[in-house]
Structures are given as structure tokens and as C-alpha cells.
């Protein structure tokens, strides 16, 4: 009896801890999301790039028919890649807000609170995913206007949202880790610039893996963006193919996310030293 009681007690303790953890994670995200709601202009400026890629690059390359797309229009083929790109570009510079808030003294306040370091990291990832989901809605709208053949069945849309969420969490957490290492805004901007284009071009975002030379394909296969695009292409577009299978794509992203959260949690306190 007392054993059952004790284990019940332990279980309720664990549930309590989990609720506390979730609450702290959401509090970190809430601070950021309140600011975003007050000043949503960045959501619109971030749409400039996908609009240019789809409207100009996409329209021109659709005419060339030089890229093997598995039987779909090139514009349709690249749309998931451009969604992934806009998620990547939004998330990869996310770490700069950490450096900025460190300079203001806000991070010190978070670090002396009893909130777990991992909840501080995950909270940032959550607010990054909220931004990315807004971008997802806008890319869908743009693609619809360009007559891209979109899938609208609920499971497919939910899958796209999941791929966007994991991708955004992966790259924002990666960015956070980088910020904790370089610690200064100038160096961080340099690193961000150096990373984004290679990540984008060494992926299947705007051309298939089959077209790549073998060395580039090898790099693409360790690039999380490739798995995100692979899942998005299958789930977003009518007739879109997948190289690895959606399940593998999502498993890879969750695995990479777990690694990065663990890394960022270790590095996070370094930002103030």
C-alpha cells in the first residue's frame, strides 16, 4: 500500500516537473511572441526573399526544363525548397537576439531564475517555430496564387507543419549554440553569412540529389535541410517524390534537434562569461 502510495507520489512529482518545465519553456517563448504581435512587420519583410525566388527564379527555370523533377513542374518542385529556405534564413540568425539580449542584461535575468537551462533553449526554439509557421501560411498563399499544385488533405498539411516546426527548431537551436560560442554580434553575423548559402546550396532545395556530383551529394546527406525539404516535397506538392521517406526525414530531424538542444543547453550559460 505504502509502496503504491510512494510510486504514485513520485509519478505526480514527475508530472509536476514536466508541467513546470513546459510552463517555463512557454514563458520564454511568450515574451518573444508578444513582441512579434506588437510589431509583426518582420514577418512581411521576410517574405521578400521567397517572393523573389518563386516569382523570378522559379518562373525562369520552369521554362528551361533542364532539371529532372520527377514529372512535376519546376516551380512546383522548388516551392517546398523555398519554404525550407525561408524557415532556414529566419532561424539561422535567431541567435543574434540572444547576444543582443545578453548585452541588455535580459539573459542574466533568465539564468538566475530556477528555470532549467534546457527550457530556456527550447523556449527560444518554440518562438522561432511560431515565426516559421506564419511564413508557412504566407508561402502557401503565394504558391496558391502561382497555381502550384498543393496538397490540402489535413494529414499532409499537418506533416508540412511538423517539418517546418522541426526544421525551424533545428536551425534556431544551431544558431543559438553558435551565438554562445562566438558571443559577439559582429562575429556572429559573419558566421551566419558564411553558413546560410552553403547550407542552402548543399541541399536538395532547388535541384534533386540525383543531379549533384557525388561529393556534393555526400555533404547534402548530412545536411538536415535536405531531410526537411525531402519531407516537404512529398507532403506539400501533388505528385511530389521523396528520396528517404517522410518517416526517416522526421526521425532524422528529431534526432538532430535532440543533439542540438543538448549542445545548446551546455553552451547557454557561457554566453554571459
Partner 1 sequence: MTAPNAVETKSLTRRFSALVAVNHLTFSCAHGSIFGLLGPNGAGKSTLIKMLTTLLPPSQGTAVVAGFDIVRDPRAVRRKIGYVSQMLSADGDLTGYENLLISAKLYGISRAERAARIAHGLEFMDLAHVSGKLVKHYSGGMIRRLEIAQSMLHRPQVLFLDEPTVGLDPIAKQAVWQNIRDLRREFGTTILMTTHDMQEADQLCEMVAFMHEGTLAAVGPPAALKSALGPAASLADVFIQYTGASIAEQGDLRDVARTRITSRRLG
Binding site for partner 1 (CB under 8 A): 20, 23-24, 26-28, 30-31, 34-35, 38-39, 103-106, 108-116, 269, 272-273
Burial class (CB in 10 A: 0-12, 13-18, 19+), 45: exposed
| Dist. CA 54–CA 64, nearest whole Å | 15
| Residue whose CB is less far from partner 1, 16 or 198 | 16
| Residue whose CB is less far from partner 1, 39 or 153 | 39
Report the 10 Å Cβ neighbour count for 140: 18
Smallest separation, CB 23 to partner 1 (Å): 6
Measure Cα distances from 24 to 107, 173, 254 in Å.
14, 17, 21
Smallest separation, CB 260 to partner 1 (Å): 22
**Which DSSP state fits 131?**
H
Smallest separation, CB 106 to partner 1 (Å): 5
Smallest separation, CB 272 to partner 1 (Å): 6
| Residue whose CB is less far from partner 1, 20 or 189 | 20
DSSP state string for 158-205: HHHHHHHHHHHHHHHHHHHHHHHHH-SHHHHHHHHHHHHHHHHHTTTS
| Residue whose CB is less far from partner 1, 59 or 113 | 113
| Residue whose CB is less far from partner 1, 24 or 129 | 24
Smallest separation, CB 103 to partner 1 (Å): 8
Amino acid at each position: 500500500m505504502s509502496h503504491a502510495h510512494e510510486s504514485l507520489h513520485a509519478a505526480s512529482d514527475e508530472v509536476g516537473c514536466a508541467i513546470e518545465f513546459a510552463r517555463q519553456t512557454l514563458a520564454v517563448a511568450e515574451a518573444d511572441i508578444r513582441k512579434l504581435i506588437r510589431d509583426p512587420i518582420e514577418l512581411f519583410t521576410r517574405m521578400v526573399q521567397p517572393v523573389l525566388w518563386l516569382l523570378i527564379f522559379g518562373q525562369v527555370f520552369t521554362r528551361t526544363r533542364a532539371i529532372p523533377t520527377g514529372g512535376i513542374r519546376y516551380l512546383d518542385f522548388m516551392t517546398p525548397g523555398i519554404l525550407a529556405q525561408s524557415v532556414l534564413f529566419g532561424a539561422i540568425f535567431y541567435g543574434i537576439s540572444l547576444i543582443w539580449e545578453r548585452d541588455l542584461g535580459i539573459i542574466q535575468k533568465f539564468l538566475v531564475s530556477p528555470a532549467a537551462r534546457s527550457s530556456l533553449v527550447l523556449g527560444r526554439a518554440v518562438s522561432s517555430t511560431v515565426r516559421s509557421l506564419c511564413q508557412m501560411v504566407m508561402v502557401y498563399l503565394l504558391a496558391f496564387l502561382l497555381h502550384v499544385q498543393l496538397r490540402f488533405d489535413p494529414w499532409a498539411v499537418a506533416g508540412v507543419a511538423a517539418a517546418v516546426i522541426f526544421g525551424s527548431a533545428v536551425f534556431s537551436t544551431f544558431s543559438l549554440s553558435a551565438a554562445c560560442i562566438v558571443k559577439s554580434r559582429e562575429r556572429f553575423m559573419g558566421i551566419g553569412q558564411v553558413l546560410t548559402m552553403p547550407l542552402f546550396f548543399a541541399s536538395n532545395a532547388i535541384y534533386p540529389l540525383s543531379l549533384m556530383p557525388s561529393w556534393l551529394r555526400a555533404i547534402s546527406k548530412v545536411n538536415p535541410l535536405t531531410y526537411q525539404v525531402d519531407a516537404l516535397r512529398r507532403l506539400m506538392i501533388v505528385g511530389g517524390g521523396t528520396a528517404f521517406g517522410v518517416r526517416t526525414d522526421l526521425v532524422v530531424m528529431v534526432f538532430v534537434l535532440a543533439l542540438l538542444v543538448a549542445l545548446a543547453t551546455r553552451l547557454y550559460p557561457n554566453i554571459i562569461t
